[in-house]
Amino acid sequence: MDKNFGKFEGMVLEKLVNIERQLTKKVDRQEFLPVKSIAYGMVGLILTCVIAAVLSGVVKALIF
C-alpha cells in the first residue's frame, strides 16, 4: 500500500507541474485587450454593412 501511495503522489505532482506549464502559456487580460478591440470592431463593421445592405434593398424595392 505504501508503494501505491508514492505512485499516486508522483502522478499528482506530475499533473500539477503540467497545469503550471499550461498556465504560463495563457494570455493575461492586458495582452488580450487590443485583440478583443480589433475583433469587436471588425464584427461591428461587418454587421453594419449587412444591415445597410438589407435596408438599401428594402428602400430600392419600395421606390420601384
The reported pLDDT for the residue numbered 1 is 45
C-alpha cell belonging to residue 11: 502522478
Distance of alpha carbon 20 from the chain centroid = 20
Q: Tell me the pLDDT of the chain (64 aa) as tens digits.
A: 455 667 788 888 899 999 888 888 777 777 788 899 999 999 999 999 999 999 999 999 998 7
The reported pLDDT for the residue numbered 26 is 78
The rounded distance, in Å, linking the Cα atoms of 20 and 56 is 54
The reported pLDDT for the residue numbered 59 is 93
Which among 3, 25, 7 is positioned nearest to 15, based on CA atoms?
A: 7
Count the alpha carbons within 13 Å of 55 in the hemisphere toward its beta carbon: 6
**Is residue 27 left, alpha or beta, with left meaning phi > 0 and alpha meaning psi from -120 to 50?**
beta
